[in-house]
Amino acid sequence: MPLWYGGDYNPEQWPDDVQAEDVDLMRRAGVTMVTVGVFAWSWLEPAPGRYTFGGLDRALDRLAAGGVAVALATPTASPPPWFGLAHPEALPVTPDGVRLSHGSRDTYCVSAPAYRDAARRIAAALASRYAGHPALALWHVHNEYGTTCHCDLTAGAFRSWLRARYGDLDTLNDVWTTAFWGQRYTDWAQIRPPRATQYLPNPTQVLDFRRFTSDELLAAYAEQRDLLRAATPEVPVTTNYVLGGWVPVDHARWSREVDLVAIDHYPSDAGPAAEEETAFAADLARGWATHGTGTPDWLLMETAPNLIYTPGRMHTKEPGRMSRHSLAAVARGSRGAMYFQWRAPRGGAELFHSALVPHAGPDSRVFREAVTLGGQLTRIAEAVDGRVQAPVAIGYDEPSGWALQAPALPATGLDPWTEAQRAHRALWRRGITADVIGTLDGDLTAYPMLILAVHYLMSDAQAAALRTWVAAGGHLVVTYLSGVADRHGRIRTGGYPGALRDLLGVRVEEFHPVAAGSRVRLSTGDTGDLWSETVHCTGAEALASYAGGVLDGRPAITRHGYGAGVAWYVSTRLDEPGRDALLATVAAAAGVRPACSGLPPGVEAVRRVGADRSWLFLLNHTTTDHEVDADGVELLTGAAVSGRVRVPAGGAAVVRTAA
């Protein structure tokens, strides 16, 4: 099966002669799949119920004739201008009560019946017209679900969701702690979404509204999925996740509802951190997939071929980087390498967004690199048979991140995403592969080592599962501010870290947030920032203690033997050398090994393992050539490899080995 290679394709933006050239260029570049129709609603339904599918028919026929498969999108992320005029109540309302107007995209209220009806109708029309079309390989529902609304229709849906969750108002009042500031509700009708308010909002109301929004968006997705599945049971259905702290989508939960986890990922760093971000997002997608769809396969649905958004400017990717990022995604389990977008638009809001066919046209560095990448992906397609081996899991709990966006916390910058990324980076640099998992509710037995990154919210059941897993031999590393609150964000009293005290063998009496720009010193010579704590060992031993300041001599990092396993606690945000040393110690204790030994700094290594052979991906992010131990066949060049393989500066090697 070929890898999926291509990107978002918008025939609606181009005349026929350009579309004809598009398919020729796709063939030249080895493109195997394009995503069509993402924002094409006003093209396909220019007036309510009047469908004009002729242009899409021609585009899909031409793609099919050119051997290019299609991820056919439902265009419901961008309702046409007529929709908002006909249904003003279906336009979204901000927390300040401002109803937004048409003029951008994602301008709808997902709880508005008129929107849901219109979305189902256009999805059903597409399903019935294109079921059985030879180009159709994948359904791509909507685009980057994440729109929030605070209108009265949303309020009604929120109340229904709360009733279903809590049953009665006493329970809601209890879990929302409405006794604080006299917020007690005596009638469901009094409950609203968290709109602009006088001072700090109720944090559990805000957290529940995020969860509700996630579920409401998921219901909208599932409606479309179900009707698409009914029309074409053999075609998988997905939607492309957008990543970021603002996104009100619980991706771990959604991953149980999609046939294939698909992510859009745009690294935000111009330097080497972009490679680390790429690997992190890939391992997160694989983690969501593994514990969601039940298979580690996922798809990089969008990334930028060239310009990367960085603060204040766009950064032009250096030659070779586009290809390396794509190969890194495939190395980490992606079914392919898809881009936003195929051809750069002539106008519109994102007119300078990069594309495989840039404004300069095919006579350009980027298109030549796209052709090179197409060839590379063809040569390594067999690696799809291999499964990524990840001996470590990093627990990244999205709802904990949402809860920690509340104001009035002991510090700002408390963020599971960043903390998970830091742990991931330390492992990445050592060539150790990790699944970044969005839930602790799945099967952890495959992992000898687990890191919990600021896992602030924790249920009793999750804490119990962790105890069982450690007792059976697991090595658990827990960072500060984990297990402190229950799933409703209520603090577990009696000492932090609440749910994990007995497992970690520690009791934390109080927090000492560290001033911005300051650091605490440890007895090991390492330092921490952001956070520190008064830790009492209640069974654990101190591996490092604070040196100086009010915490002088008190435990900072602890280790607790628990059954056949070990639970480690880190009460500050360790600097890079400290984190690296600790995770190396734990990895050694857990018997965790890198994908290959003797890896030069700046060279990334991942192994996909098949039944009787494996594929070692080596990505050289440095500006000098490197050699790595390997035996087999290097697929990009076709050369036999005996003992050492050369990985060119800025390039890659993919070695098929016997075992």
In the complex, which residues of this chain contact ligand GLA (CB under 6 A)? 143-144, 264, 266, 302, 340, 350, 353
Structure tokens at 4: 């999926």
Residue with tokens 């929709």: 83
Q: Are 617 and 652 in contact (CB under 8 A)?
A: yes
Helices (H), 168-304: 169-175, 203-231, 251-254, 273-290
Q: What single-letter DSSP state applies at residue 188? A: G
* DSSP codes joined into one string, 509-525: EEE-PPPTT--EEETTS
Which residue lies nearer to ligand GLA by CB, 80 or 555? 80
Which residue lies nearer to ligand GLA by CB, 303 or 421? 303
What contacts 374, CB < 8 A, 6 or more positions away? 5, 29, 30, 31
Q: How far apart are CA 447 and CA 431, in angstroms?
A: 16
Q: How far is the CB of 77 from ligand GLA (least distance, A)?
A: 8
**Segment (H or E) for 86:** helix 81-86
Q: How far apart are CA 457 and CA 602, in angstroms?
A: 35
Q: How far is the CB of 411 from ligand GLA (least distance, A)?
A: 31
Which residue lies nearer to ligand GLA by CB, 33 or 506? 33
Neighbours of 609 (CB within 10 A): 17
Strand partners, 114: none
Q: Phi and psi (nearest 5°) for 409?
A: -90, 165
Taking each helix axis from N to C end, the angle separating 365-380 and 321-331, rounded to the nearest 10 degrees, works out to 30
Q: How far is the CB of 351 from ligand GLA (least distance, A)?
A: 12
Which residue lies nearer to ligand GLA by CB, 99 or 102? 102
Q: How far is the CB of 87 from ligand GLA (least distance, A)?
A: 23
What contacts 344, CB < 8 A, 6 or more positions away? 351, 352, 353, 354, 355, 357, 358, 359
Which residue lies nearer to ligand GLA by CB, 150 or 353? 353
Q: Are 398 and 412 in contact (CB under 8 A)?
A: no
Identity (one letter) of the amino acid at 532?
A: S
Which residue lies nearer to ligand GLA by CB, 88 or 348? 348
> Which residues belong to the active site?
144, 302
Which residue lies nearer to ligand GLA by CB, 212 or 339? 339
Q: How far is the CB of 105 from ligand GLA (least distance, A)?
A: 8
Q: Are 583 and 426 in contact (CB under 8 A)?
A: yes
Q: Are 617 and 326 in contact (CB under 8 A)?
A: no
Residue with tokens 């090994």: 593
Q: How far is the CB of 8 from ligand GLA (least distance, A)?
A: 7
Q: How far is the CB of 356 from ligand GLA (least distance, A)?
A: 14
Strand partners, 558: 542, 569
Q: Are 77 and 142 in contact (CB under 8 A)?
A: yes
Which residue lies nearer to ligand GLA by CB, 239 or 534? 239
Say what the alpha-carbon torsion angle 121, 126, 131, 133 is, to the nearest 10 degrees: 170
Strands 240-241 and 261-264: parallel
| Distances 461 to 232, 446, 487 between C-alpha atoms, Å | 39, 19, 11
Q: How far apart are CA 53 and CA 126, in angstroms?
A: 9
Which residue lies nearer to ligand GLA by CB, 264 or 604? 264
Which residue lies nearer to ligand GLA by CB, 216 or 302? 302
Q: Are 25 and 367 in contact (CB under 8 A)?
A: yes
Q: How far apart are CA 319 and CA 591, in angstroms?
A: 38
| Distances 360 to 369, 410, 589 between C-alpha atoms, Å | 14, 51, 54
Q: Is the omega angle on the peptide bond into residue 134 within 30 degrees of 0, that is, cis?
A: no
Strands 69-73 and 136-140: parallel
- Nearest C-alpha neighbor of 654 from the set 598, 604, 601: 604
Q: How far is the CB of 143 from ligand GLA (least distance, A)?
A: 5
Q: How far is the CB of 350 from ligand GLA (least distance, A)?
A: 6
Which residue lies nearer to ligand GLA by CB, 354 or 558? 354
**Segment (H or E) for 245:** none
Q: In this chain, which residue has its C-beta nearest to ligand GLA?
A: 264
**Segment (H or E) for 156:** helix 152-166
